[in-house]
Structure 1
Amino acid sequence: MSRPDPYSVDAGQETRSRSPLSRSIGHTRGRALNVPSENRPQSYTSPHRMKDYERPSVRSYFHGSWYPHQPSPDQQTWTAYGSERIRAQTAELASLAISTTPSHEIGADYREGNNTLRSGGGFPSIDRVSSTDSPILVKSHLPRASNTRQEPFVEDGGLCPPEDYSRSPGPSHLTRLLRNPPPAETAVSSMNGMERNNDLRQDEIATERDSLLQTKILDHIPPSYNSSSPNEVEAQTSSAAGGKIGSLRNANICSLAIKLSSAKHWNRRVIWTNAVVAPISALPAVALALLLNLLDGLSYGIILFPLGEAVFSDLAPDGLSIFFVSTIVSQLVYSCGLSRFNAVGSEMIEVVPFFHKMAFTILSQVGQDKRAVISTTIFCMALSSVLTGVVFFLLGYLKLGSLIGFVPRHILVGCIGGVGAFLVLTGIETAARLEGSLEYTFDTLKVLFSLPTFFMWMLPLAISVFLLVLLQFLKHPFTVPAFFLSILASFYLLIAAIPALTIEGLRDGGWIFNAPKSNVPFWHFYTLYDFRAIHWEVVLENIPTMMALTFFGILHVPINVPSLGMTLGLENVDVDRELIAHGVSNCLSGLVGSIQNYLVYANSVLFIRSGGDSRLAGIMLALATTAIWMAGPGIIGYIPVFVVASLIFLLGIELLRESLYDTWRKLHKFEYLTVFITAVTMGLYDFVVGILVGIILTSLAFVIQASQKPAIRAAYSGARSTVRRHPFQQRFLNQVGPQIYLYKLGGFIFFGTISSVENSILDLLEERNFNERPIRFLVLDLTGVNGIDFSAAEAFMRIRRMLEKRDIFLVLTGPNGDVNAALEGVGIWDGGEEGVKLFSELNDGLQWSENFLLEAYYASKDQVSSRTTHLEVPSRPRAEVENVMNNSPRISQLRAAAKMREREESVSKWSSFKQPLPLILQTFQERTAENEDFWFRIIDFFERKEFLKGAVLFSQGEAASEFYLIQEGLLKASYNHQTGRYYESITAGTTCGELPFFSETPRTATVVAERDCVTWAMNREQWAQLQEQYPDVGRELYRLALKLTTERMESITNYILTRSS
């Protein structure tokens, strides 16, 4: 059950209570006004200031709301001291510095009335359940609806659209077409040009330069008649995640309908350009891409099944057919508009090792039942393609393509190296015509180095190495195709020149692939599907392999797509759109019985740069590939084995070079070790295990590297707040300030980084260091911390226990909602709040620490006055302040600082003077050698002005017409700086606004009364009269203004540097 709030307002009257400070020091003598705030006049000031008065939104607690990058602590339970209460305490302490009344007789409220945060204006309201002795329990929640209509807040230079604009669908494309018919004359574009425009329009809807919040009204958008924008459909509403697919479909349908329905397009010139010239101009690119497809099919389409096993030995033609089907499907999907690029699609080469693993698993489970093994294997291949497509599609549909970027790149690099090692080993197995798979035994090694097997696999290896060297000098796109065509032609010329060499003899010797059966059609692989023979339990066992294959497959799109866009000079490439295209192509490929495919970067660049930069060229390539597929697999019986093995070696060596050689000295040592171990594990042992090893090593590398970056960004001894205090208090805090020690923490704090924080604190508390540098407050600024794990949160509990043994306060500042929840979850505030304090920002925590030390100072001063022999601070909170006084490393600093009272005896001498002379003498005595006779001459040039709480003294940018001496109350100066917005509390016994006044420059801050204030102001006329009558006093004021400015600039600069470090 919560205790009643002693500061609550009942029946329109304010209930006054003794402040915590006054209760801790002595009895209360109330001096505050008891007029309810709603019944008070707006201002006590002169009429010319009336227009400047306003009631601003209260932002005294969550100052972090000025910083949009900081997470809001809304709907979180905070145990914290409110900023308003801290500044009220600061104002009361300032009143002690300029008053001759003993501190135990002075009392003021820490807050006047019910000054909790207003629930309007978008700021969280707070419920306070506390006594004046305990921290305020602040419970944030969203504001309730108010009957008062709030004006919309508009950023500078921004537009505020009508309230119902986002809900108004606006006119449809058909309505605008009827209202504004298209012009009679429209430029005729070529079909290729229109296709490019329609493709590019999808990405021109929003660019990096467009504003995040659209402020244009739909009715003001000029009508577009050939547009394919997703917003130009009937019932003009914003589509959700599925809007991208609808926009693509509508774009292509709209473009096709316009072309077919507009007769002006069908003249002789247009027909000749698009039906004859365009296809002929694309033939060179189509021929090159077709040749590349054929070489790819011969290199890894043939080895789709492990041909060394007897069960799969006759499936090379079927593997080639499956390759062609996957290539045709992907090419049609990309070329028909789902992809931004007119790219080349092909089978995903990385699937081969995974398919071999699935085949061996099925073979070991099913046995030698050929029909069942083949049916189960080919079904698992097709199913894995569907699963890959579904994942691709969902990532694109839900716009989660950016998530793939969180997968470390060196995992993919290691997997590429594993595929390269697998291909090299597969090349040896294919060229040597080994029976079964390649085994790492002495017998296998003996076979490989026996004649003629040694020459059978060494020849293609030498050819591939020679070609790699040749490619260093000849980088033409036709180099590789021309090289292998010349090798193939030389092989058959050699057969023709030597009569002893025959096709059949070379085929029997293993130099040419065996010819497929004469009655095997191109669609033969469809006959391998027998759902009655599938072992479904074995299919389920292969699901992990399919998932690993899917994980590896999705890593290519975020790499290939941006790389291709950069190479082709295309901006704003939509990765989500490409993911959807890949999802459709893989799902369709699996449904028609084929396997995974993807956009091939290298082939696409060659194709587009050779003239295949149109949809028509892509469709022509798909038709040509279909023709090759339908020609049948008989061509395999005439392909030399060493040519295929050379292609496999070439690709494997290139992948190994990319993975292991190109990354040498480019990666961190541990990252390179991860790549190497992943590649070796995948190539020599198992692909799924290799991926898991890569993930584990990558996680370990991340922990090691992250732990090497310290969580402590900076450390400060004697850090100070921005409060503008009385000179006496400034001098005292300068002496005891080192008792405040600040650590700036940053980043994500976890078990790997929290140990450095603990060790630093342990070193700080070590006996020898503590005696040399005693501290009372350890401030941990968590503003830069974006999260902590459970281990780090538990460490904060250990830190709290360590500090409690030394009677040190743990002051936590600026945690976001997640950090606060994590600390609360481990019970950081369990067992009371005697040792740990929480504040919304760093300035509040430093201000509270300074106030605590000042309370001890005034308590000790009173006891010295009463001739006590020891320092003792009673009451608020008695245990806390007594501990301060009884701690020997810190007591010496406090006693030394308490002796300053001897230099304050002159204050009582000035108490008989009429204001503002005592105020002038107290404010300037630390900075000037002039006495009261000198300053007595200027008292008539000051005018007494009073400001109610909330009144605005001046705003930033205004002309400086006055400067003020603060006699009572508290002001808040808010600055808008390049590094952010910050505030400064201005207490009694100080000045305000002197620099812009004397320098005749605009105001640099907005100053608002935080409490009811009594000030003494000098205006321009009075300043001119003072300079004319007493020029020596004017010169002295100039000099004092420079001194004050130097002090404040130093204070503000130090705080900015502290906060931004």
Structure 2
Amino acid sequence: MAVVADIMSATPALLPGPPLSMESFEADEACKNSLKDDKIAHSPKEEGSNAKIMIRDITSQLPAIFVVSIMIFMLGIPFGAAFFPTELELPGKEIMGLRMFLFSTMMAQLVFTFSSKFTNCVGVQMVENVPFYLELARILIAEEGNGESASSTLFFLFGISSLIVGLSFYLLGRFELGRILYFFPKHVLVGCIGGIGLFIVVTALEVSTNTTFTFTAEGVNECIIQKFQLLLPVFAFEVVLRLLTSLTTKDGVAQYPLLGPIYYCFITPVFYAVLLCAGISLESAEDGGYFFPPLISSGSVFNKDLFRIFTEVNPRMISWTAVVKSIPTILGLTAFSLIHVPINIPAFAISTNVEPDMNAELIAHGYSNVISGLFGGLQNYLAYSPSVVYSKSQGDGKRSSLSIVTITIAIFIYGPTIASYVPRCMAGTLLLHLGIDLFLEGGIDSYRDYDTLEYSGICLIMIVMVVFGMDQALLAGLVAALSTYVAQSIVYQDPIRGAMSGARLRSSAWNRSSEAQQILLDPKIGRGRIYVVELQGHIFFGNIVKLTEDIKQRLNQKRQAGDEPIVVILDFSDVLGVDSSAAQSIVKLKIFIQKNFNVKILLFVTGHEDGFLCSYDLSHKVVDELGRKSIHIVENKPLLKERRMSLAAGALANHVESQQNVIAEIPRSQVFETTDDALIFAEDVLIALEDPTIIQTDCHARFPLMHCTSDNIDEVNSILETIMPEASEDEIEIIVNLLAPEKYQRGDIVWEQGDASDSLKVVVSGSLISLLEDVVVRNATESICPGAVIGELGLVNRNPRLTTVQVLSDDAILYSLSREKWQTLTEQQPKIARYIDMLVIRYLFHRIQHVSNNRYLPV
């Protein structure tokens, strides 16, 4: 998060390119360490003691140490004064606030020195939580007034909140749940940033004038109009800084990253120079409110106030009623604290070309916040901008980091004395500049990045935060997040991805008999009577009404056009989840379709091995008693007779009489794992509705024939006649004589992926499966049924086996054409060999068409 970056106006541009991989980073570090060790071992100047080496390392990094220490001190003055509201009557609260900031900062830096994977990071007190601290203080004032009980309870809450934040960080890191933090809605975070910006602007006015600002005529009059002389230098310094920043920014990138820190350093001497030129004495300026009151009550800094922040809590004076009322604010503070790390750490890792370890950094943050909380300290984190400035100033290593801790301790002791000579306008300018930048980042710059609904949520959060407080703002953020999710799911994501007929979305069962193909290609009774509706996204209570109404409307349009489908397939393959309300509505939709439309079969595709992605038992419910009723198809129905009008009347009568007991039983609803399985079943239905005797010998039949009478045939000849309709009986017989039978048992491997392609095989009986090894993709397997030909492409093209083929049934019989016999056939009878070439081309065409149709489903 670029909050501290905005404070200092010193955010350098991120380095181009992706972060280095961990391997390249470790190799680079090993090289650097090797060179460093080599220099130490061979340079005559390095032959001193370890103390001299340490002094040399620290001396070489003095600029980085100095810059970061100044930044910490400058941050501590305004925010130390902002931790407590002006209405809280707590003597010495400014010095306590400064030391609270410094203590939390030194704890963070000390822990990160030994626990963080970064060797050049800077830890700082979490300044973004200032609005929460003010909210806690005001809860206590309303409950306990301005007494010792309020003070003890407030510092107790500070420590407890840090402990809770630290434990949250630690547990997330320990259980490797760091990624969960990325699921926080971004526009809610942006709204909080903008709201905190406005909150800090108000804090800047209060710190500069030492009054309480309210959005009333009296509050504006007291804080701004009557004290405008105190705000005038703040506004003047802010305007000058904005102008300098604008003049030194090129293409959105600050050309001088240290402009902010240097500018803030010069505010104090410039203010003194103005007083001198105007002839105003320091006593008059102090009486006029231009300086903070003396922060040290006695001449020595080593007095009882030095460790006051650690002794302020009196367990007997804690107001537990106020603690209970503060729980929502503490929970909000915890949630908001967790947001910063997933933003700061990756950003700093990119800037320094380091591979981040989010879970390790979360654990380090857990340690630093727990230790701070045990002593009643505030929350802390890895601050992005100071870390980048420190890194680019060549700061690195434990010695340099511990030097920063040592200087911070010195500032902890002597800082209040120095801060007494810093004018209020310096703290006010820093806070005002930060607040405006955060407001611009969250409320203005985000306008083009979010849609109207999301931006409305951002504005709502900002307004509620400033007018009503942090707790109400976080509640508004929750409402905004849920409203956005529901609205976008309904408005922007149509639960129906597309729909099309089975005439275009064909199954993989392309080696059916010529009679079956004739039925499926018929425009009136064929694949065109299959209607596939593909769903997508999350199906939930917010869009299920739109889904059901859309499907009903589509079926009505089909009916009016005289093209009502016989089989409807609802494909859930691309659905990410179904809630219980939507699942129950889907069951009602199924019943409605079966009662009100002439849809004989309704099929469902889950797209997942575990069924529908919902806790509701949808798979069972869509095949309820109504769905389990079967369609019984007897062959001697009028429709079949009409289709056979071209046959001789006597032959037809004899055929019907011999086949009149053929009955197919088809369930009215069914659930499948893949779309292809559902399409094969749907095609079987269309064939069975016309002639069950055809489907009885079809290798892809997916439902039982209750009774069937047919003549025994030579299965190999029958299969070859089906797949090679151009070949004569004599030519078929020649091919059959070249085939050798093979028997397999359950679990046998016919061939493995990558094996040499030395044969073509015809599946006569049994079931097999073809699967891709070492891949995780949708539809990476394919069922192989009797009547299929496998290995034809490898035989002709000589490429290795593309998949592994394994037997699933108890036994299987295959007939194999070896490469040697294939070569003999091509040399002696090329016309017959050409039939196999045509088979390869036809199979390739069907496969490409099948994959293409399933990949691109038109809307």
Task: Give the TM-score, by structure 1 length.
Answer: 0.64
Partner of 1:422: 199
Whether 2:226 is the aligned partner of 1:441: answer no
2:310 and 2:771 mapped to 1: Cα distance? 75
CA deviation after TM superposition for structure 1 residue 507, in Å? 1.4
1:302 to 78, 81, 86: 81
Whether 2:120 is the aligned partner of 1:342: answer yes
Partner of 2:507: 721
Partner of 1:738: 528
2:127 and 2:507 mapped to 1: Cα distance? 63
Inter-CA distance 856–1028: structure 2 relative to 1 (3 Å threshold) = farther
CA contact (8 A) 2:25 2:354 kept: no
SS in 1 for 2:140: helix
1:315 to 93, 103, 108: 93
One-letter amino acid of the structure 2 residue matched with residue 810 of structure 1: L
Whether 2:145 is the aligned partner of 1:367: answer yes
SS in 2 for 1:780: strand
2:175 and 2:749 mapped to 1: Cα distance? 49
1:551 and 1:920 mapped to 2: Cα distance? 67
Whether 2:792 is the aligned partner of 1:983: answer no
1:274 to 44, 49, 53: 53
Deviations 1:371-401 (A, max 9, x none): 2222222222222122222222222222222
2:480 and 2:629 mapped to 1: Cα distance? 39
Whether 2:431 is the aligned partner of 1:648: answer yes
2:634 and 2:815 mapped to 1: Cα distance? 26
CA deviation after TM superposition for structure 1 residue 505, in Å? 1.4
1:753 and 1:836 mapped to 2: Cα distance? 30
Whether 2:285 is the aligned partner of 1:506: answer yes
2:544 and 2:332 mapped to 1: Cα distance? 34
Inter-CA distance 462–972: structure 2 relative to 1 (3 Å threshold) = same
CA contact (8 A) 2:717 2:732 kept: no
One-letter amino acid of the structure 2 residue matched with residue 784 of structure 1: D
Inter-CA distance 859–1052: structure 2 relative to 1 (3 Å threshold) = farther
Partner of 2:701: none
Partner of 2:552: 762
Partner of 2:380: 597
Partner of 1:625: 408
Matches within 5 A, 1:2-13: none
Whether 2:466 is the aligned partner of 1:466: answer no
2:845 and 2:585 mapped to 1: Cα distance? 36
1:800 and 1:585 mapped to 2: Cα distance? 57
Whether 2:743 is the aligned partner of 1:947: answer yes
CA deviation after TM superposition for structure 1 residue 362, in Å? 0.9
Inter-CA distance 1060–958: structure 2 relative to 1 (3 Å threshold) = same
Partner of 1:94: none
1:998 and 1:795 mapped to 2: Cα distance? 52
1:1056 and 1:442 mapped to 2: Cα distance? 71
Inter-CA distance 630–974: structure 2 relative to 1 (3 Å threshold) = same
Partner of 1:877: 665
CA deviation after TM superposition for structure 1 residue 303, in Å? 1.6
1:949 and 1:857 mapped to 2: Cα distance? 41
Deviates more, 1:440-449 or 1:972-981: 972-981
Deviates more, 1:478-487 or 1:654-663: 478-487
**Among the aligned pairs, what percent are the same residue?**
26
Inter-CA distance 432–1041: structure 2 relative to 1 (3 Å threshold) = same
CA deviation after TM superposition for structure 1 residue 960, in Å? 5.3
2:308 to 518, 521, 524: 524
2:687 and 2:205 mapped to 1: Cα distance? 83
One-letter amino acid of the structure 1 residue matched with residue 475 of structure 2: L
1:1024 and 1:484 mapped to 2: Cα distance? 88
2:25 and 2:336 mapped to 1: Cα distance? 34
2:324 to 531, 535, 540: 540
1:360 and 1:466 mapped to 2: Cα distance? 35
CA contact (8 A) 2:190 2:442 kept: yes
2:271 to 487, 491, 494: 491
Deviates more, 1:268-277 or 1:347-356: 268-277
2:585 to 795, 799, 808: 795
Partner of 1:555: 339
Which structure has the highest helix share of the two?
A: 2
SS in 2 for 1:631: helix
CA deviation after TM superposition for structure 1 residue 920, in Å? 8.0
CA deviation after TM superposition for structure 1 residue 455, in Å? 3.3
Deviates more, 1:800-809 or 1:818-827: 818-827
CA deviation after TM superposition for structure 1 residue 766, in Å? 0.8
1:1045 to 837, 840, 847: 840
One-letter amino acid of the structure 2 residue matched with residue 720 of structure 1: R
SS in 1 for 2:189: helix
Matches within 5 A, 1:127-166: none
SS in 1 for 2:494: coil
CA contact (8 A) 2:176 2:359 kept: yes
Inter-CA distance 1042–528: structure 2 relative to 1 (3 Å threshold) = same
2:563 to 773, 783, 799: 773
Partner of 1:583: 366
CA contact (8 A) 2:662 2:692 kept: no
1:633 and 1:493 mapped to 2: Cα distance? 22
Partner of 1:702: 485
CA deviation after TM superposition for structure 1 residue 282, in Å? 2.5
SS in 1 for 2:448: coil
Task: Give the TM-score, by structure 2 length.
Answer: 0.78
SS in 2 for 1:817: coil
Inter-CA distance 431–756: structure 2 relative to 1 (3 Å threshold) = same
One-letter amino acid of the structure 2 residue matched with residue 974 of structure 1: S
SS in 2 for 1:419: helix
CA deviation after TM superposition for structure 1 residue 962, in Å? 5.0
2:333 and 2:629 mapped to 1: Cα distance? 51
SS in 2 for 1:877: strand
1:619 and 1:921 mapped to 2: Cα distance? 83
2:495 to 711, 716, 720: 711
> How many correspondences in the alignment?
762
CA contact (8 A) 2:200 2:435 kept: yes
Partner of 1:613: 396
Deviates more, 1:336-345 or 1:377-386: 336-345
Structure 1: runs of 5 or more not aligned:
1-202, 211-223, 228-261, 838-848, 882-889, 905-910
Partner of 1:244: none
One-letter amino acid of the structure 1 residue matched with residue 162 of structure 2: S
Matches within 5 A, 1:68-467: 269-271=48-50, 273-307=52-86, 309=87, 311-312=89-90, 314-338=92-116, 340-368=118-146, 370-434=147-211, 437-447=212-222, 450=225, 453-467=227-241
CA deviation after TM superposition for structure 1 residue 894, in Å? 7.6
Partner of 1:638: 421
Structure 2: runs of 5 or more not aligned:
1-18, 34-40, 249-254, 645-650, 670-682, 698-709
Partner of 1:834: 627
Q: How well do the aligned residues superpose, as a CA RMSD in angstroms?
A: 4.3
Inter-CA distance 809–381: structure 2 relative to 1 (3 Å threshold) = same
Partner of 2:674: none
2:428 and 2:634 mapped to 1: Cα distance? 85
CA contact (8 A) 2:443 2:458 kept: yes
CA contact (8 A) 1:726 1:987 kept: no
Deviations 1:797-836 (A, max 9, x none): 1221122213432222334437266341696157437359
Partner of 1:60: none
CA deviation after TM superposition for structure 1 residue 1000, in Å? 5.4
CA contact (8 A) 1:785 1:815 kept: no
One-letter amino acid of the structure 1 residue matched with residue 334 of structure 2: T
